[in-house]
Structures are given as structure tokens and as C-alpha cells.
Amino acid sequence: MKAQNGKAGVLREADAGTTRAASSPPWERLVAALGVVLIVAMIGSMVYFALTHERSVPAITIETEPPRPAGQSHVVRFRAVNGTGTTAAALHIRGELRQGDTVVETSEATLDYLPGDSERFGGLFFRHDPARYELRVFPVGYNEP
């Protein structure tokens, strides 16, 4: 192996350009080519994201599922969807059980991160049965990461 390298080294000095390409085994060149493809694809995608991405504010919509009993309380599972490309960190979500104008019970949950154009799930616990009240679930605030 070493002798081979030594010999190749001499050849390379004579004819650098062409011998270099031929010096690596074909498998290695194949994997290297895969590496080139991968990094070009990653850089290309990131450039695309950078150019299409506009820094705005996150727009979050929340959909709730029907309440389910959970131990001594009830849980309302929700899906938070970020419709923009802007990430919301420490997204605070509040749920209220209302009867007319009075708030019977509130519950809160925090999503660590809700990336742009993504969805995350969570749940809110209520001691009262949410099915018997008007349920409102809405985002309260977030951090910019």
C-alpha cells in the first residue's frame, strides 16, 4: 500500500490533474459523490428557505378535540398549527371554560417550540367537564427564539 502510494506520488507530480481523479478507489469516489450531492442539496435548500422566508410574526390556530375523562379531571387535546414560516418558542396556550360571561375555569399549557409551518400537540386539564361549558382555547404569548 505504501509502495503503491510512493509510486503514485511520483506519477502525480508528473501529471497532477488526471492522476488525482484516478487515485481513489471507485467506491470511495461514489460515496464522495454522494457527499457532494448531499451538501449541495442541503446548501441549495437552505438558500431557497432563506430567500423565500420572510421574518414575520407567527400566526397560530388551535383546534381542539372532544374532551376525554382523565383520572379525576378531563383532558382536552389540542393541535396548534403555525401557518407562517416564523417559529414561536415557549408558546403559551390558555383554555377557558365559560358559562355566559363568567369564566368557570382556566387551564394552561406551554409548547417549547412551534416551528414555522408546523404543528404540535398538547392537552389541557379541566376539573369541570368541558362538555358542559363553552370552551375557548387560544394562544397567549411566545418568545422569539
Partner 1 sequence: MSADATASSTIDRDFAVGIARAFAGALIFALPMLMTMEMWQIGFSISPWRLILLLVVQMPLLVGLSRFVGFERTRTLGEDVTDAFVAIAVAVLMAAVVLFVFKVIDTDMTRQEVIGKIALQSFPGSIGALLARGQLGQQGRAADEDRQDPTYPGELFLMGVGALFLGLNVAPTEEMIQLSYMMDPWRELALVLLSLVIMHAFVYSIDFPGGSEFPKDMGFWTLFVRFTVVGYVVVLLICLYLLWTFGRTDGTDIEDVLSAAIVLGFPSSVGAAAARLIL
What is the total count of residues that contact partner 1 (CB under 8 A)? 43
Contact present, 98 and 85 (Cβ < 8 Å):
no
CB of 2 to partner 1, least distance (A): 7
Distance of CA 111 to the CA centre of its chain: 12
CA distance 95 to 143: 19
For partner 1, which residue of 67, 78, 87, 135 counts as binding (CB under 8 A)? 87
28 scored as a contact of partner 1 (CB under 8 A): yes
Which string of DSSP letters, residue by residue, matches the chain? -HHHHHHHHHHHHHSHHHHHHHHS-HHHHHHHHHHHHHHHHHHHHHHHHHHH-------EEEEEPPPEEETTEEEEEEEEEE-SS--EEEEEEEEEEEETTEEEEEEEEEEEEE-TT-EEEEEEEESS-GGGSEEEEEEEEEE--
> Does the protein bind partner 1 through residue 35 (CB under 8 A)?
yes
- Contact residue for partner 1 among 34, 70, 103, 131 (CB under 8 A): 34
> Does residue 59 bind partner 1 (CB under 8 A)?
no
The reply on whether position 116 binds partner 1 by CB under 8 A is yes
Question: Is 61 a residue that touches partner 1 (CB under 8 A)?
Answer: no
From candidates 7, 47, 66, 79, binder to partner 1 by CB under 8 A: 47
57 is an interface residue for partner 1 by CB under 8 A: no
Residue ranges in contact with partner 1 by CB under 8 A: 1-2, 5, 8-9, 12, 16, 19-21, 23-25, 27-29, 31-36, 38-39, 42-43, 45-47, 49-50, 53, 85, 87, 89, 112-113, 115-119, 145
